[in-house]
Amino acid sequence: MTTYKPLRVQSYPKLGEKVTQDTIYWKNYKTAVQIKEFGAVTKIDFSPLSPYNYAVTASTRIHVYGQYSQEPIKTFSRFKVPAYCGTYRDDGKLLVSGCEDGVVRLFDIDGKGILRQLSGHTKAVHLTDFTSDKYRILSGSDDYTTRLWDIANSTQLLSYSEHTDYVRCGTTSKLNPDLFVTGSYDHTIKVFDARTDSSVMTMDHGQPVESVLLFPSGGLLVSAGGRYVKVWDMLKGGQELVSLRNHHKTVTSLCLSSSGHRLLSGSLDRHVKVYSTTTYKVVHSFDYAASILSLALAPEDKVIVVGMTNGVLNVRHKKQAEDKVEAASKKRRRPAYRFFVKGKDYMPKQPHIRVKSPEVTVAVMQELNRRGTLKSALAGRDEKNLTMLLSFLIRHIVDPRFAPVLVNVADMILDIYILVAGQSAVIDKQFVKLQELIEKEIDYQEELVEVLGMMDTLFATMTAKKEAAAPERKPNGPVDGQEPSVTMEMA
């Protein structure tokens, strides 16, 4: 008797998305936690100081959550109309917000009441932010104006009326306390200097601007509006560097990773795209259940928080090293006695190798064919077994990895069972489906052959043109077909 030789299963390249370092990094988050708010979540802002709580603006309330809390640890509800753009100051002690009634409100994080109410806008205020010196507030409104306020005296310092439509977004420079940027529905992004009476730079985004983001260095500006995300070079007078169109619907929010190497954008198409700030290529994507209105990343990228139109707050926490250690300790724990006797009388079902590992099934068929016993193995099957065989063929016969083997198997099945055709409606239906699938694949192959012929013709034409455009030169002599030039020197 010969020794047993295991079946050699051919290894095939795995199909699917390419696994990169970004894929590993951005998939290293726990299952999302869903928190229901009172309305659409229009703004999320993290406190710059530990423990990095975040403020969520939704409807007529601003809720402050801890990183791991599912209930608000503080609520600001002194609003009779919807609030907008709840934003922390750099020291994490104050919070400013706009409102539908046009009043800018300033809150103490540790207090309960309103510290300041700044009145002057005549329509809803959708933009609020602090300057980097911490003593002034920037606001932008649907009355087309942008204003700068003094916190100590509750007075208006400056007002700009250069936009011709709603001012819906903006940001201040972290390096220069006098520099700030605004975006408007008039398709423009304007850069202002508080020391001048007018804007110092204007860029045309081409779509209503929903969000703007200034890099920490101040050299690059990112704008979002329509389906486009655009990057501008501030040091070159607002020159457009790149225009990204990776979303299918309006892009509503932008944020930057803690390292500054990744840019995130959220859209109404229910996706968050992650871009490399070096190549501006999409390196990862998140899918959500509803349209996205707001997006924020915690320091060190520990938490991703997304606010949606259905009022749901989606929170993903990064897996910590402690979680991995705990999981490893659970794996090392020895099982109890009942684990060994559990199910001792149970007869397990055979694993679905044909579904999860089709290469194993194909390898068995190939080996049977090599031994000349494949036709015998396929014959004598009842309706149930034949149905499983045909289902496997329908699923994998057009796969280029398995087609050479499975086409032969399909021919054998047709030869064996052609005489019993018409006796089972299920089998007949599968035969018809298999026929349609093969005919469709043949049509695809014929179209591909035609395309290859066209491409060969184009390449041949291009090669001929290049050869004609580069005539041969003789060594130390003139070009063929041209008279030698004569140079005369005057003594």
Residue 470 included in any domain:
no
What are the distances in angstroms from CA 422 to CA 228, 414, 415, 419, 439?
Answer: 57, 13, 15, 9, 21
Other CB atoms within a 10 A radius of the CB of residue 360 amount to 14
Phi, psi values for residue 284, rounded to 5°: -165, 160
Is residue 7 one of the residues assigned to a domain? no
The Cα 254–Cα 270 span in angstroms is 14
Query: Do residues 55 and 159 share a domain?
Result: yes
| Whether residues 396 and 267 fall in one domain | no
Q: Do residues 172 and 43 share a domain?
A: yes
Same domain, 311 and 391: no
Q: Choose the final residue of a domain: 440, 457, 478.
A: 440
* 130 Cβ contact partners less than 8 Å away, ≥ 6 residues apart: 87, 89, 90, 94, 96, 136, 137, 138, 172
> Does residue 155 sit in the same domain as residue 286?
yes
Both 26 and 167 in a single domain?
Answer: yes
Examine residue 389 and state whether it is found in any structural domain, yes or no.
yes
Report yes or no on 398 lying in a domain: yes
Q: Is 82 found in the same domain as 141?
A: yes
Per the confidence metrics, is the pTM higher than 0.75? no
Same-domain pairing of 99 and 159: yes
Q: Are the beta carbons of 108 and 114 closer than 8 angstroms? A: no
Residue 477 belongs to some domain of the structure:
no
> Number of C-alpha atoms within 13 angstroms, CB side, residue 424?
14
166/284 same-domain check = yes
On whether both 371 and 311 belong to a single domain, the answer is no
Range of the domain at 51: 21-320
Q: How many domains does the chain have?
A: 2
- Please check whether residue 57 lies inside any domain of the structure: yes
CB 8 within 8 A of CB 283: no
Task: Classify residue 472: in a domain, yes or no.
Answer: no
Q: pLDDT by residue for the chain (491 residues), tens digit each?
A: 567 777 777 777 666 567 788 888 998 998 899 999 989 999 999 999 988 999 999 999 999 999 899 899 999 988 999 999 999 999 999 999 999 999 999 999 998 789 999 999 999 999 999 999 999 999 999 999 999 999 999 999 999 999 999 999 999 999 999 999 999 999 999 999 999 999 999 999 999 999 999 999 989 999 999 999 999 999 999 999 999 999 999 999 999 999 999 999 999 999 999 999 999 999 999 999 999 999 999 988 999 999 999 999 999 999 876 555 555 555 566 666 677 667 666 665 655 555 678 888 888 899 898 888 998 999 988 888 889 989 999 999 988 888 889 999 999 998 888 888 888 888 889 989 998 998 998 898 899 999 999 998 888 888 887 777 765 554 454 444 444 443 433 33
Does some domain include residue 9?
A: no
Angstrom distance (rounded) from CA 278 to CA 297:
19
**Of 237, 261, 247, whose CA–CA distance to 210 is shortest?**
247
Residue 153: CATH number of its domain? 2.130.10.10
User: What does the alpha-carbon distance between residue 340 and residue 354 come to, in Å, rounded to a whole number?
Assistant: 29
